[in-house]
Copies of this chain bind each other. A is one copy, B any other.
Amino acid sequence: MRLSQLFTKSSKDISKDEVSKNAELLMKGGYIFKEMAGVYSYLPLGLRVLQKIVSIIREEMNAIGGQEIQMTTLQSKKLWESTGRWSDDVVDVWFKSALKNGSDLGLAFTHEEAITRIMTQHIHSHKDLPVYAYQFQTKFRNETRAKSGIMRCREFLMKDLYSFSKDKKSHDEFYEKIWAAYQRIFERVGLGEYTYVTFSSGGSFSKFSHEFQTICDAGEDTIYLDRRKKIAINKEVYNEEVLNSLGLKAEDLEELRGAEVGNIFSLGERFSSALKLHYSDENGESKAAFMGSYGIGPGRVMGVIVELFSDEAGIIWPESVAPFKVHLLCLSKEKSLIEKAENIYLELQNIGVEVLFDDRFDLNAGHRLRDSDLLGMPYRMILSDQSLKKGGIELTVRKNGKSEIISLKEVIERYLS
């Protein structure tokens, strides 16, 4: 894409009421727009990042047998009353609205009730199990405070998968599979080495749930991490008994801030019983399906990435989620050089490399270089009189700042293939 065509512009100053680093950098770079606290629109560059994270998650969900669906935001009171979750006293993040005839509606903050009811139409026999259904859907949560940028929003995209198994044993087998899939996802988006499985509070059907916590100063959780064993405990459930049951020792643990980038939950029969999702087992007996739920917020993942991978000059995208792999600049206005840059732009695209081409020749070099740092593509290629004299293109790796002047052929061989 040509920067001259991209409608967004970077800005040096943004509204002072934005206190989170991720939103500040993303707003300065024109990645997002703040509609109100906790409510952000995604502009072209931001949406590209979000869509890349979504694609990675989708691939991994499909690989373990997930079937993609799309449920609705509008939810009926009656459905949620049947599980006891309609009341604002029970769930304190509801946004409520109403139809014109006065019927109450809620905006889904999660979808256990909805998916369970859908499954009552499709699951009847043990032969219909297991089923794994997932969606990417906007969730609405009426948070009292929303000061963590896109890490905690009132409206945000969520991947939620729901599993339906015939019994705990079959459920546990899938639980391990999706656990591994989550690890692959965080690895692929660049958060792997900072993200730890964390034991957190369970529910009636299991002692613990499991969170994936990324070590991050802007995180809202406190966790205790055993780095050697790669296990953490959320402060919520931290006590001696839990330590013992996990075979951990207090003296091996570090207290850290964590951002919950994913969670996996055993729900047991809580929802299937309430909504009568029954199947007949091998002996013809009626049983409630055993459920689990598994969430990842792609927007939160994006926010955490910016928190972890940025410096004073801007963002440092991991290659897998960067909006473009290469930021190409031609710093000369000389026609032959511009032509060379245009050719490089086309050539890279022809071999499938995503390039952001700064063709804003009317702006000064300082402005354009600052933009390049702020926007944070993994590789910057500068074409200038100087670089050409030295035999090529100045390639700078954003994450370590290393620069060298090499030929296009070398750039492609070493970095882009």
A30 surroundings in chain B (CB, below 8 A): 122
**A202 close to B (CB within 8 Å):** no
Q: Choose one: B36, B74, B96; the contact of A39 (CB below 8 Å).
A: B74
Interface residues on A, range: 35 or more
Is A155's beta carbon under 8 Å from chain B? Answer: yes
A140, B95: Cα distance in complex, Å: 14
Smallest Cβ-Cβ distance to A75: which chain B residue: B35
Is A133 an interface residue, CB under 8 A from the partner? yes
Per the 8 Å Cβ criterion, residues 113-163 of A in contact with B are: 114, 118-119, 121-123, 128, 131, 133, 138, 140, 142, 144, 154-155
Query: B76, A36: Cβ atoms under 8 Å?
Result: yes
What number of copies of this chain does the assembly contain? 2
User: Which residues of A1-47 have CB atoms within 8 Å of chain B's CB atoms?
Assistant: 5-9, 11, 30, 33, 35-36, 39-44, 47
The smallest beta-carbon distance between A118 and chain B, in angstroms, is: 5
Cβ-neighbour of A65 out of B5, B65, B99, B123 (below 8 A)? B5
Contacts of A144 in B (CB 8 A): 100
Complex Cα–Cα for A128 and B3 (A): 11
> Can you list the 4 inter-chain pairs with the closest CB atoms, starting with the nearest?
A7-B131, A42-B70, A41-B71, A95-B97
User: Interface of A with B (CB < 8 Å)?
Assistant: 5-9, 11, 30, 33, 35-36, 39-44, 47, 50, 65, 67-76, 95-100, 105, 107, 114, 118-119, 121-123, 128, 131, 133, 138, 140, 142, 144, 154-155
List 21 contacting pairs A-B, 8 Å CB cutoff, sorted by A: A7-B119, A9-B121, A35-B75, A35-B114, A36-B74, A39-B74, A40-B72, A41-B72, A41-B114, A41-B118, A42-B70, A43-B118, A44-B67, A47-B68, A50-B70, A73-B138, A73-B140, A96-B97, A97-B97, A107-B107, A138-B138
